[in-house]
Each structure stands twice: as C-alpha cells, then as structure tokens.
C-alpha cells in the first residue's frame, strides 16, 4: 500500500461480494462481466473507493470517459444547476441553449478551414451510425470502408464495422451489407505498405460506390495502434480523388487524451466528419458528429436524431469539460503524462522481455506483451494475469488489442505524477512476475 492505494479488505470485499450475488440473480448475464470485482462507492479525480472502503488508482477512467477525472467539481456543479432548471424536452420539441453552446465549442475546436455544423447523439455507436447515414445520403453511395482491428460499436451497423468476432459479432449475424475491411497500416504489425493500399482497395470494391472511409486515427480497442507515416494523409488523398467522405472516429482518442483536442490534429489531415463521445461529457451520455456544414445542410429535417439525443444535462457537462481542458491546460498535461509514461515503460522494455512494443501519442499509450520478440506471438494469458494482479493490489488497468495482449492507459488527465508513479510501481511488479513466468 502507498500514499493513495488503501486496501482494507481482500478484493473483492464482503459488500462487493454481496452485490455480485444480487447481480447474478437479476442482471443480464452478458453485463455481469466487469473488469473490477470491486463495486464503486465514490470516484474523485483518478481515485475510486469501493463499497468496502478500499481505494484504487484508476487507470481505466470508465473506459476512457474520464479525461477530466471522476466527479470534477465544475462538472458536478453544472449538472446540479441544470437539474434545478429542466431535465429534458427533446431539442426538436422545445429547443434549449446548452445544445447550441456545445455545438459552437466543438465546431470551433474541430480542424478545417470551413463552416461546420454539429449533431448530438447519445453514445459512440450512434455517432458512427449517423456519420454513415449522412455519408450515404449526401453521396448517393452505399459502400463503407473500415479497418482491421477497428472498433466502432455494438449496433448492427457498427458491430459489422467492428473487426473482432468474439465477443462482438459471433452469433449476431447477418451483418450489414456493403462494409469493406482494409488493412490499417501500422509499424508494429506490418501488413501492406501505404503505397499498396489504394491498389488493394480497388480489388475489393469499386471506389466510386464508396460513401465513406471510417478510421480511428489511433486505434483504441485494437491496441492503441498508431498509423505508419503517411497513412492518414494517403487516406485523405484517396478519399478526395474518388469523392469519398473521410470520417474520423475520435470516440476514444479525442477530447484531449493525445495532447491535442482531436487526435487527427497530429497529422496534416482534415476529415469531412469527426465523431466524438466518451470523455466529451465526463461520463454523461453524449456524442457528436461534427461535419462540414455543406454536407449536413443537405439532410432533410428529422432524418437524423432521437428522443434523448443532446440531453441538456449532458450538454452542460460537455460544455464544462471543454472549458476545463482549456482552463487547466490539460492538453499540455496529456503530453507531459505521455513523457512520464514512456520514460518508465521504455526502461521496463529493456528489462522485461515480455514487452514487445511501447506505443502511443500523449497520454494514450499502450504496452504490447509478446511471448517472443521475433514472432510477436501474443502473451494473452499473461496480460490477463497482469491485469488481475494489479486489481488485487489497488490499481484498475484496462487491457486491449485484438488478441487481448495489450495494456492501455485511459487515465484521467487529472492524475498526479505521484499517483501514476504509485500505480506504475504496482504495474511494474505485475509485469515482472509475468516476465518471470514467461522466462522460467
Ligand atoms: C473508437 C470507438 N468507436 C466507437 C465506440 C462505441 O462507443 P459506444 O460504446 O459509446 O457506443 C467505441 C467504444 O469503445 C470506440 O472506442
């Protein structure tokens, strides 16, 4: 135990165990699959305290929703204030200002020297579904190009666009038509080269029938894969040449995590549409599609939307998140955290053979564990062992990767150096143990 981690019981403690028993009786089985066996009572900044009084350092941030930390006081105040006035109308019934304010702020932040307009939704999958709908409507085309190891959600269309069969797709077909999967060109998992990509595309689909290319500028669930130099620029060029819309899925990488508000800003690439969610409203359900205004203006009224989309409480939270990122200089903090994370992890890489790759941008960093550096065979089970050891020693940490052999940082940008260093002491011990199992 250290300055921040405080374990008063074994994990899970008696109260968490009791809740798990109630859960098993009534909650749908596929939902009873939480990373943490400890049930939360309080969350503040990067710390989570469970119902048994155990305090953990949280490196998962609600699967990447907590860039400004758990229960940031400014977000909480905005939510309470909004709740005192009104909770819901449906923006298309009785409109309200908080919706416009979020749209104004997002339009200003999004790259591109053109007018933008913004539509709000509830979650990531809805934003992606709508970006595809919009692309199809304005282009009069059906095709959607996605990538290997992509994750875009769990609805019929977004599950089709997602790569991984188990657990996301197996048994849930038939899938949506006209979705074409192409290689995501990245250094650690070489497939084709950037130059070969367009030729391969044209063997799968006539590009003149493609409405959009949907790409995560840095893949999230796929293991924080950063594209090879020139890849995103090539996609933009190919998209423009064939009249295809380029959609950036910033649902995991956006809202400051990489040191830029949108991760695509690390490249000289301007998408036609950006989808964002997760950290946007600090855990309140809100997502956005930010598009060129000339594109959005071509859709008929009520053709996109939904009863709860752009809820005023969620809008007030998002508005506050955007201001907090500016006021607390969290983009600079994300970059500094990236330097700290990489500094420690690169030194581990020299000591522990199990670490195959350290990669990412800003605070969006991942470790990939392999059994062998030459073959890069995934060390999936040992990754699971590392995560479990961390959990039982007071650190919540998220896995990722198509083979489940990566650890990813989805940490709050509010975490202090002392907190992350304490969490990394626990993580390093777990990595050392896994390394021992690998080499013995
Ligand atoms: C890149 C990306 N796109 C889309 C989604 C789907 O978002 P949601 O779970 O809010 O529907 C996720 C969720 O993890 C994601 O990481």
Q: What angle do CA 202, 247, 397 make, to 5 degrees?
A: 110
Distance between CA atoms of residues 27 and 86, nearest Å: 31
Check if 129 has its Cβ closer than 6 Å to any atom of ligand 1. no
Nearest CA to 335 among 237, 248, 263, 231?
A: 263
Tokens of 264: 């695509």
Distance between CA atoms of residues 438 and 408, nearest Å: 21
> Within 10 Å of residue 188's Cβ, how many Cβ atoms?
15
pLDDT for the residue 190: 84
CA of 151 to the centre of ligand 1 (A): 7
CA of 220 to the centre of ligand 1 (A): 9
3-state secondary structure of 65: coil
pLDDT for the residue 1: 66
Ranges of beta strands (E only) in 341-402 are 355-361, 364-369, 395-396, 398-400
Q: What is the pTM of this model?
A: 0.97
Residue 39 gets which letter from DSSP? P
Per-residue pLDDT 10s for the chain (440 aa) are 689 999 999 999 999 999 999 999 999 999 998 999 999 999 999 999 999 999 999 999 999 999 999 999 999 999 999 999 999 999 999 999 999 999 999 999 999 999 999 999 999 999 999 999 999 999 999 999 999 999 999 999 999 999 999 999 999 999 999 999 999 999 999 899 999 999 999 999 999 999 999 999 999 999 999 999 999 999 999 999 999 999 999 999 999 999 999 999 999 999 999 999 999 999 999 999 999 999 999 999 999 999 999 999 999 999 999 999 999 999 999 999 999 999 999 999 999 999 999 999 999 999 999 999 999 999 999 999 999 999 999 999 999 999 999 999 999 999 999 999 999 999 999 999 999 999 88
Q: Please list, in sequence order, all residues whose beta carbon lies within 8 angstroms of the beta carbon of residue 111, skipping any fewer than 6 positions away.
A: 262, 264, 265, 270, 271
The helix/strand count (H/E) of the chain reads as 13, 15
Nearest CA to 187 among 227, 231, 235, 233?
A: 227
Q: Which domains does the chain have, with CATH numbers?
A: 14-68+330-439 (3.90.1150.10), 74-327 (3.40.640.10)
pLDDT for the residue 214: 98
Taken in order 414, 416, 421, 426, the sign of the CA dihedral is negative
Check if 251 has its Cβ closer than 6 Å to any atom of ligand 1. yes
pLDDT for the residue 440: 83
Please give the number of the atom of ligand 1 that sits closest to the Cα of 253: 1
Check if 254 has its Cβ closer than 6 Å to any atom of ligand 1. no
pLDDT for the residue 2: 85
CA of 228 to the centre of ligand 1 (A): 23
Strand pairing category for 406-408 and 364-369: antiparallel
CA of 124 to the centre of ligand 1 (A): 5
Contact 211, 205 (CB under 8 A): no
Tokens of 99: 């919706």
Nearest CA to 117 among 253, 299, 248?
A: 299
């Amino acid at each position: 135990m250290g300055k921040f981690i405080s374990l008063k019981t074994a994990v899970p403690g008696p109260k968490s165990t009791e809740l798990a028993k109630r859960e098993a009786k009534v909650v749908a089985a596929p939902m009873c699959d939480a990373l943490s066996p400890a049930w939360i009572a309080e969350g503040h900044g990067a710390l989570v305290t469970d119902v048994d009084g155990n305090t953990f350092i949280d490196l998962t941030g609600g699967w990447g929703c907590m860039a400004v930390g758990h229960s940031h006081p400014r977000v909480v105040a905005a939510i309470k204030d909004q709740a005192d006035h009104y909770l819901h109308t449906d923006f298309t019934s009785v409109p309200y200002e908080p919706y416009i304010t979020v749209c104004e702020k997002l339009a200003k932040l999004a790259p591109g020297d053109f007018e933008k307009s913004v539509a709000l939704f509830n979650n990531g999958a809805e934003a992606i579904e709508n970006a595809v709908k919009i692309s199809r409507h304005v282009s009069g085309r059906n095709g959607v190009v996605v990538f290997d190891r992509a994750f875009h959600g769990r609805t019929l269309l977004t599950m089709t666009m997602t790569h991984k069969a188990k657990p996301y797709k197996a048994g849930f077909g038939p899938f949506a038509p006209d979705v074409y999967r192409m290689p995501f060109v990245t250094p650690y998992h070489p497939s084709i080269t950037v130059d070969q990509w367009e030729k391969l595309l044209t063997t799968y689909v006539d590009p003149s029938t493609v409405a959009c290319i949907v790409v995560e500028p840095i893949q999230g669930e796929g293991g924080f894969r950063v594209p090879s130099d020139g890849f995103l620029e090539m996609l933009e060029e190919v998209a423009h040449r064939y009249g295809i819309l380029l959609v950036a899925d910033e649902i995991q990488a956006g809202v400051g995590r990489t040191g830029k508000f949108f991760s695509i800003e690390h490249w000289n690439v301007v998408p036609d549409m950006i989808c964002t969610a997760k950290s946007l409203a600090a855990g309140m359900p809100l997502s956005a599609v930010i598009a060129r205004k000339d594109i959005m203006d071509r859709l008929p009224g009520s053709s996109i939307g939904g009863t709860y989309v752009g809820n005023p409480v969620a809008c007030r939270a998002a508005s506050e998140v955007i201001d907090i990122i500016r006021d607390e200089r969290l983009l600079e903090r994300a970059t500094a955290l990236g330097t700290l994370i990489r500094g420690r992890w690169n030194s581990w890489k020299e000591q522990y053979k199990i670490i195959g790759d350290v990669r990412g941008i800003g605070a969006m960093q991942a470790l990939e564990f392999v059994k062998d550096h030459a073959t890069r065979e995934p060390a999936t089970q040992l990754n699971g062992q590392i995560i479990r050891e961390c959990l039982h020693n007071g650190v919540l940490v998220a896995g990722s990767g198509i083979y489940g052999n990566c650890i990813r940082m989805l940490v709050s940008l509010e975490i202090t150096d002392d907190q992350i260093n304490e969490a990394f002491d626990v993580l390093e011990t777990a990595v050392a143990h896994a390394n021992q199992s690998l080499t013995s």
